[in-house]
């Protein structure tokens, strides 16, 4: 029984020591960590691209008409710098983002026609040459 009383007294002393060593609020201000919500990166803006025909071009705006499945759509874009290499009627590929409710052009390049490769099957028959009558010099 004596050993049990010493064990309980020792256990009570250990809990008392732990209670005294608990962190108390200090008078020194602690350094605050920025919240994760504030340090999160903003969403990457989606870049959209399509091919269309230039309908109107000025130093600050570009109007392009693109063909959809059932109809044609005319879109207006804001230009950061003037596009000097294009004229009305050119077929272009436009890449843009939507910024502050305006479509802002990132790149404008001429649309390149897709290469169409036509394979010609070799003829198994030898070509026959026909002799045409040529006028004689008399």
Q: What is the DSSP track for 12-39? A: HHHHHHHHHTSPPPPSSPPPPPPPHHHH
Assigned architecture for domain 48-110: Beta Barrel (2.40)
Q: In the prediction, which pLDDT does 128 show?
A: 53
Q: Extract the residue ranges of the chain whose pLDDT is less than 50.
A: none
Q: Where are the domains of the chain?
A: 48-110
Q: What was the pLDDT predicted at 34?
A: 63
**pLDDT confidence of residue 81:** 84
């Amino acid at each position: 029984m004596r050993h049990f009383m010493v064990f309980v007294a020792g256990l009570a002393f250990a809990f008392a020591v732990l209670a005294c060593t608990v962190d108390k609020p200090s008078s020194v201000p602690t350094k605050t960590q920025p919240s994760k919500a504030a340090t999160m990166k903003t969403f990457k803006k989606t870049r959209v691209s399509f091919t269309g025909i230039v309908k109107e071009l000025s130093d600050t705006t570009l109007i392009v008409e693109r063909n959809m499945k059932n109809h044609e759509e005319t879109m207006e874009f804001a230009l950061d710098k003037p596009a000097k290499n294009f004229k009305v009627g050119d077929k272009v590929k436009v890449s843009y983002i939507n910024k502050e409710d305006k479509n802002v052009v990132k790149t404008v390049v001429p649309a390149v026609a897709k290469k169409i490769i036509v394979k010609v099957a070799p003829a198994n028959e030898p070509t026959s040459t026909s002799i045409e009558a040529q006028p004689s010099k008399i």
